[in-house]
A and B are shown apart, each in its own frame.
Chain A
Amino acid sequence: MFNPETIKQQFPIFKQKTPLGQDLVYLDNAATCQKPLAVIDRITDFYAKEYGTVGRSSYWPATETTKNYNEVRGKVQRLLNAAHEDEIVFTSGTTDAINKVANSFLRPRLNAGDVVIISEMEHHANLIPWQQICTEKGALLKVIPILDSGELDYEALESLLTNKVKLLAVTGVSNALGIKNDLLRIIKAAKGFEVPVFIDAAQSVAHSEIDVVALHCDFLVFSGHKIYGPTGVGVLFGKRERLREMAPLSYGGGIVKEVTIEAASFQQSPNKHEAGTPNIAGVIGLGAAVDFINEIGYAEISAHTKAITGYALEQLKAMEGIQVIGDVDDRAPVISFVMEGVHAHDLSTFLNEKGICIRAGHHCAQPLMHRLNLMATARISFAIYNTKADIDALIIALKETQAFLS
């Protein structure tokens, strides 16, 4: 029987009190998740018992490290249901992966007058890299608008698609509002014009099963630290033919076949895309995070975070003076709201005094906030270890704050 309290016990941070002596109520999981002991121990053991480099050396412990590092590639392949292990490239995170695809895939294919499509709800990380290359090339960055409900305007997308479109980049879930996008519909529409599709899955992988074959996306990226893994590691999934036709994501050692002063030839992906000594401990830790997710299973994870989200929404909507942003039936475990008369940063400071962590601000999604005519919202976001008691503590603190500040 799934019990979030026993799950919580696997996360050492919850065993200690905040500096003010309270239990930690951590509700900023869309920013980053806490780490289970299994991940922390795996990284410690790696450094303490088997540390070496990867891919270059024929001695123990480097051989052990190389084997373990490459096993993680297989774990991630299975997590995403990718067709081939070599479709998984390790990066330093989602932002790094987006920049690399922007530079290595989009830049050489983009000409003046071409079009790149993104959505109005993108995190700055899935906007600025594309925007900058469009500016440089004289290409157009077009935007799938959102409706007042917060959902994408899918009909508008269909009118944006032409054979001038060289890439469509969209998030699976709005990091600011928790709105889920209908990726199958988006990708199907894009494929009608043979447009490559890039998915920012940073907010998706922790909570919901991903199947890149069923999605038929060309690229999909996420970060380790948002799925209970360490910081500084992320994943780029790219279809085999895409990764093969792309120039290396960056240049350096470990990716080459032959090098002269004048020229270099490169290995095949994924090696060709991982120049330099990678974040080995990060990848090993990511493997432990994938194991952690698999042990619980997506069915339990999705059901639990959905139940917590529903409970939180119910409690928030029952309060006077609280406006939940985005009107959808089914949302990811992310809720943005505003409290009448109280700025989100003041609210965040008050909740911090109760040991409750929430995010306040524009959530790195300024165009979305402008569209919704909001300067800042309070955002709560849930993970596998959150409980109804966390939500109850939040609601009590919200009411106390409201009484004092508004």
Chain B
Amino acid sequence: MNDRIKALYQSHILVNAKDTSHQGKLEDATHVLEAYNPMCGDQYTVSLKIVDDVIEKATFDGFGCAISKASTAVLTKQIEGKTLVEIKPFIELFHELVNELSDQSPESLTSDEDLLAFAAAREFPERKVCATLSWEELLLSLRGSMMK
């Protein structure tokens, strides 16, 4: 097992992929997003409870690879408590973190280890879509009806 693959799947990603703390559907969800990658079949339902423009609760349910599952788990954990205004730059930061063309070092973007683990995706551009699947869907929703 070489170092770069270990880096990609390092313990943070494997641990988060198996973390069930934010799995499931919210009974009182105000918004439900469907993140789906038709190329590979990965599919997550992200449930959000948004009150007064603050995400009070976020959970997910679905199926996919370790990277997409871990990134969805991290997303749901980290957006709880954030306002809708705060979320957009947060998602943009994540995109920058996994962007192999970025001129910013991952460490200059964040010190959060759960997030930093995904910077290894810079070495695997074909897996970037796995890392960003649910984040991208949330960003699209923010640009759409959610912000109105």
Contact B65 A20 (CB under 8 A): no
Q: Let me know if B8 is at the binding interface, CB within 8 A.
A: yes
Contact A353 B5, CB 8 Å, known A360-B40, A369-B41, A405-B14: yes
Q: Let me know if A2 is at the binding interface, CB within 8 A.
A: no
Binds B, one of A85-93, A183-191, A228-236, A344-352: A344-352
Q: Let me know if A376 is at the binding interface, CB within 8 A.
A: yes
Measured in the bound complex, the distance between the Cα atoms of B43 and A369 in whole Å is 14
Chain B min CB distance to A96 (Å):
21
Which residues on B sit within 8 Å (CB–CB) of A360? Answer: 40
Chain B min CB distance to A95 (Å):
17
Measured in the bound complex, the distance between the Cα atoms of B41 and A360 in whole Å is 10
Q: Let me know if B116 is at the binding interface, CB within 8 A.
A: no
Mostly helix, strand, loop or mixed at chain B's interface? mixed
Measured in the bound complex, the distance between the Cα atoms of B1 and A400 in whole Å is 8
Contact B127 A349 (CB under 8 A): yes
Contact B66 A376 (CB under 8 A): no
Contact B40 A405 (CB under 8 A): no
Chain A min CB distance to B88 (Å):
28
Chain B min CB distance to A353 (Å):
5
- Chain B residues 57-112 with CB under 8 Å of chain A are 63-67, 69
Which residues on B sit within 8 Å (CB–CB) of A369? Answer: 41
Which residues on A sit within 8 Å (CB–CB) of B14? Answer: 405
Within 8 Å by CB of A343, from B1, B39, B65, lies B65
Measured in the bound complex, the distance between the Cα atoms of B65 and A331 in whole Å is 28
Contact B41 A362 (CB under 8 A): yes
Measured in the bound complex, the distance between the Cα atoms of B63 and A345 in whole Å is 12
Contact A346 B65 (CB under 8 A): yes
Measured in the bound complex, the distance between the Cα atoms of B43 and A376 in whole Å is 11
Chain B min CB distance to A338 (Å):
12
How many residues of chain A are within 8 Å of chain B by beta carbon? 19
Which residues on B sit within 8 Å (CB–CB) of A376? Answer: 40-42
How many residues of chain B are within 8 Å of chain A by beta carbon? 22
Contact A346 B39, CB 8 Å, known A375-B63, A400-B1, A405-B14: no
Q: Let me know if B4 is at the binding interface, CB within 8 A.
A: yes
Q: Let me know if A59 is at the binding interface, CB within 8 A.
A: no
Residue of B nearest to A374 (CB): B41
Contact B64 A404 (CB under 8 A): no
Which residues on B sit within 8 Å (CB–CB) of A343? Answer: 64-66, 69
Over the window 53-76 of chain A, the binary record of Cβ atoms lying under 8 Å from chain B Cβ atoms (1 yes, 0 no) is: 000000000000000000000000
Contact B5 A350 (CB under 8 A): yes
Contact B39 A361 (CB under 8 A): yes
Residue of A nearest to B43 (CB): A375
Contact A346 B9 (CB under 8 A): yes
Measured in the bound complex, the distance between the Cα atoms of B40 and A365 in whole Å is 11
Which residues on A sit within 8 Å (CB–CB) of B4? Answer: 353
Using A344-B65, A369-B41, A375-B63 as known contacts, list a sample of 20 further A-B pairs with CB atoms less than 8 Å apart, ordered by residue number in A: A343-B66, A345-B40, A345-B67, A345-B130, A346-B65, A349-B5, A349-B8, A349-B127, A350-B1, A350-B5, A353-B2, A360-B40, A361-B39, A362-B40, A375-B42, A375-B64, A404-B6, A404-B9, A405-B9, A405-B66
List 29 A-B residue pairs with CB atoms under 8 Å apart, sorted by A's residue number. Answer: A343-B65, A343-B66, A344-B65, A345-B40, A345-B42, A345-B64, A345-B127, A346-B9, A346-B66, A349-B5, A349-B8, A349-B124, A349-B127, A360-B40, A361-B39, A361-B40, A361-B41, A362-B40, A362-B41, A366-B41, A375-B42, A375-B64, A376-B40, A376-B41, A376-B42, A404-B1, A405-B9, A405-B14, A405-B66
